[in-house]
Structure 1
Amino acid sequence: MTMQRRYIQKVMAVGLATTIAFTAFAAVGQQTVHAQTTAQSTSVSKGQQIINYGKKFLGRPYKFGASTSTTKNFDCSSFTKYVFKHYGITLPRTSAQQSKVGKFVSKASLRVGDLVFFSSGSRANGHNVTHVAIYAGNGKILHTYGKPGVTISNLNSGNWKRTYLSARRVL
């Protein structure tokens, strides 16, 4: 075998080894990026999963004091308790009790899946929590009250804007 031919074989072997190593390195790097992206999207999408599950009950009737073990009807806090329980998050029974769990979130920092609290209805005095909803994003809330039952409302208008008190993050 000539010297030139051996040299070409060595160059090709080194080139092939380099290509294999680079390809393996790139694949591991892609897997790492994919794993990080998946972890981030999972933590972001939990709130959206809660909203998507809650939307399955749109139109279900409102009934004050509804049981937390049925989906036949809901009141505001039995609805939030039921929906969050589906994702392994245990909430207390009443909206007032729910307003004390998790951590405080400013209205400007709301994320999909946050609980939002109001002082509205005949029991309200402007300070007492009497209603709870789930923030659905884009200024919307998913909740249940009165005639519409489970519905989506605009947080930033009408009664909901006037009676907003606070928000809590339990995710």
Structure 2
Amino acid sequence: MRRSLMIAVAASMLATAIPLSAGAAVKEGAAQIVSSVSFRTAPSTSSAVMRYLKSGETVAVLEKTNSYWYKVRDASGQTGYVSSSLSYLKLVSAPTETADTSANAVIVAGVNFRKSPSASGERIRYLQKNEKVTVTSKVNGYWYAATDANGVSGYVSTSSSYIKLTGTIPDGGSSAGSGSSNSGSTGSGSTGSGSAGSGSPADVAAQVEAVIAAGMKYLGTPYEYGSDRSTTATFDCSDFVRQAFKDALGIALPSDSAAQGAYVREKSTVTTDWKQLKRGDLMFFMDYKGTSASLYENKSPFGTKISHVGIYLGDGQILQTYSKTSGGVRIDSLEGRHWEYRFLFGGSAL
């Protein structure tokens, strides 16, 4: 009891010792780390890990960046980002939202934030559901120029599937609550799976984005081998993929990675070259043997046992979960890593 009281007091002192940032969307609070968690340079599982925050540490919560991340400051004064999952962090005093006078739009589903108004434009990052952005102009019927909460400028789809205006645009664009009804495929940069999907390419692209958005909302969810398929508290690799398709499209994929691989092979044309995959395709892998490419030279793409599955995001990145120590659901790069060497085949489940 005494130790808990001391922690709470220390957290309170730490929170009050740090001034509010200019333009902060929330009034800072305090939190206690309940399980070791990555302390990152940016609100993304693909960003650099500065160190691991340990159980019992207290941090000042500067802002709630989105549904998945808090911006925090540790006792040494270092600022970074940590998962908002209750598995890792317990709020001692919750951050209080204040009015944001600059933002005029809110993200309603995960969407690409690009450097140019084109589906082939370089992606800056993914804007997450519930993030607030400032739309500075409407470039055309398909793209908004926007600035995120960190002051980074880029372009985002005008599709109402991804963004909702909550105020007016400086150049006299659409009014609050409106949004383009154009297909979200423009903003997503997807051209569909290129394999089996039903409907037009735009329909398939929208389905792909829905699946990815559904998966992205689980970033940071803990890993558990053989996880309970009836809950979303934890996932193993195939359970996570299955849940994303179920949430987005109501599709019930098989429960294990090997069966999912067989399903995809029956459903679509698969490829053994991951660089030929399309956004939203499923990727299947063999067992981990080490980090050297030579360890996987004798693999048989369709004869080797499948032990892992993930969702390809494009640009050499995969959305997946594979261990407790890695932090649960996350985004990883493929090229030059064991993921590239272990890859067996991939294709669309649509």
Task: State the TM-score, normalized to the length of structure 2.
Answer: 0.36
Supply the distance in 2 between the matched residues of 1:83 and 1:47 (Cα, whole angstroms). Answer: 10
Supply the distance in 1 between the matched residues of 2:207 and 2:329 (Cα, whole angstroms). Answer: 20
**Residues 1:82 and 2:243 aligned together:** yes
Aligned match of 1:56: 217
Of Structure 1 and Structure 2, the greater strand share is in 2
Pair 85,158 (structure 1): closer, same or farther in 2 beyond 3 Å: same
**5+ long unaligned stretches in structure 2:** 1-181, 184-199, 290-295
**Residues 1:109 and 2:281 aligned together:** no
**Residues 1:131 and 2:308 aligned together:** yes
Of Structure 1 and Structure 2, the greater helix share is in 1
**Residues 1:145 and 2:346 aligned together:** no
Pair 121,67 (structure 1): closer, same or farther in 2 beyond 3 Å: farther
Aligned match of 1:99: 261
Supply the distance in 2 between the matched residues of 1:40 and 1:121 (Cα, whole angstroms). Answer: 35
SS of the aligned residue for 1:145 comes to coil
Give a deviation string over 1:54-84, Cα, whole Å, max 9, x none. 0100011110000111111000001111111
Residue 288 of structure 2 contacts residue 338 of structure 2 at CA under 8 Å; is this kept in 1?
no
Supply the distance in 2 between the matched residues of 1:73 and 1:128 (Cα, whole angstroms). Answer: 24
Residue 283 of structure 2 contacts residue 309 of structure 2 at CA under 8 Å; is this kept in 1?
yes
Task: Indicate the structure whose relative CO is greater, using CA pairs within 8 Å and at least 6 residues apart.
Answer: 1
The structure with the larger Rg is 1
Residue 76 of structure 1 contacts residue 145 of structure 1 at CA under 8 Å; is this kept in 2?
yes
Equivalent runs, 1:10-25 vs 2, <5 Å: none
Equivalent runs, 1:29-44 vs 2, <5 Å: 38=183, 40-44=201-205
Residue 104 of structure 1 contacts residue 166 of structure 1 at CA under 8 Å; is this kept in 2?
no
Number of residue pairs the alignment of both structures matches: 133
Supply the distance in 2 between the matched residues of 1:110 and 1:133 (Cα, whole angstroms). Answer: 12
Aligned match of 1:163: 342
SS of the aligned residue for 1:57 comes to coil
Give a deviation string over 1:95-144, Cα, whole Å, max 9, x none. 0110011223223431111110001247xx95210000011111111010
SS of the aligned residue for 1:116 comes to strand
**5+ long unaligned stretches in structure 1:** 1-36
Supply the distance in 1 between the matched residues of 2:318 and 2:278 (Cα, whole angstroms). Answer: 11
Supply the distance in 2 between the matched residues of 1:62 and 1:150 (Cα, whole angstroms). Answer: 7
Supply the distance in 2 between the matched residues of 1:131 and 1:88 (Cα, whole angstroms). Answer: 22
Identity of aligned residues (%): 37
Residue 275 of structure 2 contacts residue 316 of structure 2 at CA under 8 Å; is this kept in 1?
no
Supply the distance in 2 between the matched residues of 1:169 and 1:75 (Cα, whole angstroms). Answer: 20
Task: State the TM-score, normalized to the length of structure 1.
Answer: 0.71
